[in-house]
Structure 1
Amino acid sequence: MRPVLQLHEFFVEGNDPFASHVLLNITEPSTPEEMDKGYFFAVCEISGGDNKYISRAQEMVDEIENSYYETGDEADRNSLEIILDKINQQFMAIAKKDSPLNCALGAIRQGDVIFSFCGQPQMLLFYKHRDQYDKMDLIAENTGDENPEDRQLFSQIVQGKISANDFFYVSTSRVADYFSHDRLQKIISSRPPRQSAEHLQKVLSELKNNLSFGGIIIHRESEGDEGVMPKISLPKKGSVKSLANLFHTEQNTARILSPSIFPRLPDKAPPGEERALPARPAPARLAHLRQHASRTAPAKRIDYSAALRALARGAAAFLRFLTNALIWLAKFFIAVFAGIGKGLGLIFIVAINYQNRRGLVLGHYGRQWRAYKDFIKRMPLLTKILIATGFLAAIGLVAGVSYLKMKQKQDNEERAAKSAIETIRGQLTSAESALIYNNSAAALGQLTEAEALLQKLNCEKKPGECGELKSQLDALFAKTRKETRARAEMLADWSALSPGLALKLVAMNKEIFGYGPTTSLLYYNFVSKESALVPGSLAVNGFARAAAPKENDFIALLNDDLKNLSVFKPKDRAWQSIDIEHPSAGAATLAISVYNRRMYTVSDKQIYRHDGIRAGYGRGKEWLSEPAELSDTIDLVIDGDLWTLSKTGRLQKFTGGKKQAFEITGLNPALDSADDIWTYTDLNYLYILDGARERIVLLGKDGQLQRQITALELKGATGMAVDETNMSAIFVSQGKLYQISLK
C-alpha cells in the first residue's frame, strides 16, 4: 500500500472583513503535466486592510496560483521561485512597512513540500521521534535577520520532505492567540486529522469575536495503513471531495477544492454541448475561495408533449398493476375467511353435536388424515429427500437471514456507540477549551449535550468507557458549576430530645437554637458541647419563624398560629408573650425579621414595618409602595435591602419599598427549590440552603454564583446559620445538627 496523504481544512468567517480577512486556497492539478507540479496551497490573513488592499492581495494569490502551473522549472530554479521573483516586483506596493498581510503559500509534490511566506503565519511540522511527537516551527526556523530596507514580500524559498506519520500544519497568525503550539501538538497528534480540524473550527467559531480564522492540516499515513481514501473536511459553504494519493501520480485523483478563478477545470461537457466560461467572483470581501467555478451547459429544450405521454403511460401501467393487486388481495382474503368460517362451523358442530353429526365430521377428518399419511408413505424416497432438504434449506435460510439482520443490527449499534463516544469526547474537549477562556455558558452547553448522549448510550456493553466518560463529565461539571464536595461533622442529635424535629435555626452568641411547629426551643452550646430542651412557660405548641436583632439580646418567635409573637431572652432563659398589631385582621404572617429594632413581617401581597412599643410592636405600616407576589415566601432577611425567598427558589430583592431587578447567573442546576436564606449588612454573600439538591449556594449580592458546597448530609436539610468569619455553616437535617466548611 503506497503512502496516502490526508488533507483537512478549517475555516471560520468573521463579521468584519476589514478587521480580519482570510484567503484559503487549495488547488488540485487536473492533467498529468500539472500532477507533476503537485498541489498548490495558500493561507493568507489581512488584518486592518481596506477594500483596495484586500482586492490587490486576492489578485496576487490568484496570479501566483495560475502562473505556478503554467511556468516550468529551470536548471537552477524551480517554478515557484521564478514566479515569486516576478510577484515581488509586480506587487511591491503591498510590501509596505507594517504590512497587514501574513501569508504562507507553496506546493506539495512527490512527497516534498516547497513554500515561502511573508509576515508571521503559522507553519508547524509535527514529526515522530522515539515513539512521541516533537514539533518544529518552520517560520521561526527560517526567519533570520532581515534588512529593514528590504521590502520584498517573499524573500526566501524553503524546501523539505513530509515523512510517514508526519503532520504538516499551516494556519493564520491569530489562531496562535487561542491555541499554543503545545496545545496544537496535543490536539493534532492524538486524533485523526478530520476530528482535529473539526475541533479547531468549532472552538474558534464559538469565540464570536468578528475575526476570521483558517488553516490546513496535512497528514501522511504510514505505508502499511489500509484506510479508506482520504477526505477533505470543509465548512458548510464549500463542497467536500476526496483527495487522492499524492505520491501515486499515475492514479486518477479525486476532486479537491480550489479557487474560483483558476481556468483549468477539466470537466468534460456532454457531447454536442458547449462549455461555459467560469464566472469570476469579485475579489473584495471574499473570506474563503473553495472551488473552481462550475461550467454550466446551455439549457436543453424540454419536450413537454413527450413528457406528458410518458407520464400518461406510466400512470396507466400503475393503475393496471394496482387493480390486479387489489383483485388478487380480495380473492386471497375471501379464500382465507371462507376457510376460517368453514373451520369454525365444523368446530361448532363437533362441540354441540349438531343434528348428531359429530361422528360424521370426525370420521371425515380421520379419513383425510389417513389419506395424507398414505400419500406420504407411497411417495418416492427421492421426493421425500428433496422435500426434507427443501424444508431444512428454508429453515436454514430463515435462520441465516435472521442472523445477518441481528449481526447487522449489532454492527450498527456498535458503530453508533463508537460515534457517540467520539462525539462525547469531542464535546468534553470543547467544554475544557471553553473553560480555559472562562466561557462557562458554552462549556455548560457542551457538557449538557454530552450528558444527554451518555444517558442514551448502552453502558452495559461498554462499562469501562462509560465509567471514564462519566468521571470526566462529573469533573468538568463540578468545575463549571464551581462545585466543592465537602463532608459535614455532626455536632448533636436533637431527635432524641423532642418528638418533633427542629426544622429551623437561629444563632446567638455562643449558642445555636432550633425550633419547629411541633417542638419547643432546643439549644446547642459551642463551648460546653451541651444540647438540651429549653423549658417553655407559654401555652404554645411550637414556632413557625424566628428572628434576632444584631444586638443578640433576644429572639422573636412567631407562634404556630402565624399571628402572635413570643420573645425568648437567652441570658436569663425567660419567656414573654408580646403584642403585635396586624393591619389586616385574620391575615397570616409568612416570615419575620428584626432590623434596627423594628419588626418586618410578610403577608401575601405586602411587607409591613412595625415600630417598637413598650408592650411589643405597634400597628404595621405598608412598606412596599406597590403590592408584590409573596404568597409562597418562607423567609425574609435584611441587609439594608430586603430579600424574600420562596419554597420554589424564587429570590426577590426590594429597596426603598420597590422591587428591584435581580437575576441569579451562572448557577447550574437552577435554583428550583430552597429551604433557608442567611445574610446581613456585614456579610459579603447571600447563603441559600437547598436541601433537595444537597447543597448550600453562595451568591454575590449582584446574583453571580460564587460557589456551591455539596454534601450527603445536606439531604433534607431545613435550617441553616452561617459564620462568614470562619467560612462555616451550621445546618439541621432530620433532627441532627451538623457543621460544614464553606471554603
Structure 2
Amino acid sequence: MPHLKEVLPILINQMLRHYEEEVKDNPENAFEHNLEWANRLINQMLKPNELNELNFIFGGIKNNQLQFAYNGKINGYIIFKEGEKYRHLDLIKTYGDKQKETGPFFSNLISGDLSPDNLVIFCTAPVFDFLTIDRLEKIILSRPMEDACRYLEKTLNQIENQLSFGGLIINLLTPTAQRQIQIASSVKITPDNSIRRLVRKERETENILSPSLLAVFKNFFEKFEKKKVPNNETETEPTVQPRSDLETIKKIAKIYNRITGWQGQVKKTWRTTIKFFSRPARPTEDAPVEKIIASKKSAKTTHSKIQYKIELRQKLINLWQVGVVTIKMLIQKLWQMARARLLALPPTRRYLFLGAVIIGTIFVVSVGLTYQQNSNRLEQEKYNQLLNSIKEKIDQADSSIIYKNEEQAKKLLTEIKNDLAGFPRDTANRREIRNNLLANADTIAAKLRHLETVVPTLAADLTVLNLACQPTDLISTKLSFFFFCKNDENFWQYDIKNKTTVGLTSPILGELKNKFVKKDGAILLLNGQNRLTQFDPTTGSFSSLEVTWPKTDSEIKLIGHYNTYLYSLDTKNNLITKHKESTTGFTKGSAWLKENGSVSDITAWTIDGSIYTAKPNGTINKFDGGQLQNFSLIALDPQLNSAVKIFSSPDSTNLFILDPGQKRMIIWNKKTQKLIAQYTAEEFIDLKDFSIDEKNKTIYLLNGMKIQNIKY
C-alpha cells in the first residue's frame, strides 16, 4: 500500500520521540502511556484496511526486563536453557490474548524478565512455512549472531514467490557463552507439518482427474517416456543425502507454486465439473411430505424424474470418456498414416519434405513473432502515453491546489479517475503503478475535501444527571450551557465554571419543541401549544410573549428572529410568516414566502437577513425577500443526503452545517459558495445539535449525553 509505505516511517519516528518524552516525565509508566497515545495516533493516520494489513511490534528492554505490544500475525519465542539443553516457549500463544476485530490497535501487552542466557525471536508468519522453530533455534545457536542473521536473510531471499519476511532476534548471550553452546540432540531440518500439508494437498489435486481419463493420457505418452533397461542391469538406489536449508525451502516453494499456480487451477476446475455431473440428484426438501405419501402416482413420477437425472448424468460421463478415447484413437491413426507415408518416400524426398516443413514452421513462427513484437511495441507506446498523461495531470492538480484554483484541480481529478479506470492491469508491475497513481489521486481528493479528523474535547458530561430523556437542543453562552429535551417541560442550565446543573422551570414553559437565540442573547422558546416564551440568561427570568399566528389551526414547527421581526414556519398551512414586534410580543404578521413550493418538510433553518432552510434529503435553500435564490452546495464532497442542522449570523460569512449521518461538521462560505473546512471524529456517533462561539472560534456539539467542543 503506497500510503502505508509513506506513513509508517513517520509513525515510528513519532512513537520513538513520544516515548523519549514520556521517559523523562514519567519513567515508570512511560511504556503504557506511549501505547495509549500510539493507539489514538494510529487510528488517525491509517485507514481501517491498512490496519488489517499491518504486522507491528513495539517494545523495549531495560535492566533485562522485556516489554512489548503487538498487532497482526506475529510469532514470538523465547529460547532458554534448562539443564544442559536449550528449549523454547511460544510467548504469543502462552501470554497473549486473542486479538479482537474491533478495539485498540495495541491491545496485547506482554512483559517479563530475561536471564543472561536467553534469546528472543520475533518474526512474521510466513517464516514458519519454510523453517521450524527447532531449525531456527539450531541456526542461531550454532553460529555467531551476525553470521546467523546473514545466513537467514540469504536463505529466505532465495524463495521465488511474492512472500515477505520480517524478523528480530534479541540476544542477551555474551560472545564467549555463545561460542560454548552445544546442542545435545538433533533437530528436524524441515517443518514437517508444512511439508505434509503441502504434499497432501498436491496429492489431492493429482487425484482430481477421473481414472479413465488419467489412463488415456498415461497410455498416450507412455511410449515416449518409457526407457528400456537391459535385463542384466540392476538398479541401485541412490544414497540419500541430507538436504540443506536452501534445498528444503526451494522444495516447499515449488510445491506451494504448483498448488496455487495454473496447474492447480486447471485441476480444481476439472474436479468441479466432474462433481457436478456425477453427484446424484436429490428431491427438493420444500415438497410437502404429506402429498408424496398421499399420492402414489406423484411418488412414482418424482422417483422417475430422479432416476432420469441420475441416468442422464451417467450418460454424459460415459459420452465424455468415449469422446476422449475416440479422439485419442483418431490422433494415433493420423499419426500412423503420416508416418507410413513419410517412411515410404525416398530418402532424398523425405529429407526435402522435412526441410520444407521445418522452414515453413520457422517462417510461420517468425511472422507470428514479428506481429506480436509490433503489437507489443504499439501497446507499450500507448501505455507510456497514458502513464505520462496521468502523471502530468496529477502534477497540474497539485499545482492548482497550491495556487487556490480548486475548480481546475477538481476537473483534473475527474480526468485522472477516468484515465485510471482504463489503465492496464495485466502485469504485477502495472498493477502496482496503478495503485500508486490511485493513492496520489486519493491524496488530491482529500485535499479538495478539506476533511480533517479531530479529537473533540469534553466540555460537560450529562450522564450524571440521570435524565429521563435525551437532550435534543443546545444553547451556549459565555458562562453556561442551556439544553432541553423535545416535548419536556424542563429547561436545564449547566454552569461552566462550577460544573453544576440546575433545572429551570416555569408554569408558562410547557413542553418545549424549538428555540432561537436573538442577537441580544435572549432566548425564544416555543412549546407544543404554540406558546412563545422569552428567557433572559443574565437574570434567569422567563416572560410570556403574545403572538397571533396567521391561522387558527396553525402548527408552528420553527421560529426565528431578525432585527425586530419574528419569523414562523406553519407546516400545516405551508406558510412562512413575518411578525412585527409589539409592546406585548408580536403582531399577527403577514405571509413572507412568495414562492409556490412546499415548505412543510423543512427540518431546520437559520436567519441572517436571508433565510436558509434544510430538508430531510440534505437540500439547503436560500430565500431573500420571500423568493428562492441561486444557492448550491454542489462542490461539497461527499454530498449531503440526510437531515442536517444549520446556523449563521448576520455578522458572519460562514454557514455552519451539522451532518450527523456522515459524522461531520461543515463550514461553508455563504458569499463565495465554497467549502472552508470539514471536521470529523470517531466520537461523533450521536450528534443532535450545536452552538457556535464565533469570537473564540469554538463549536460546541451535543453528542448523545455529552457536550464536546472543537476549534475551527
TM-score, normalised via structure 2 length:
0.41
Answer 1 or 2: higher relative contact order, Cα 8 Å, separation at least 6.
1
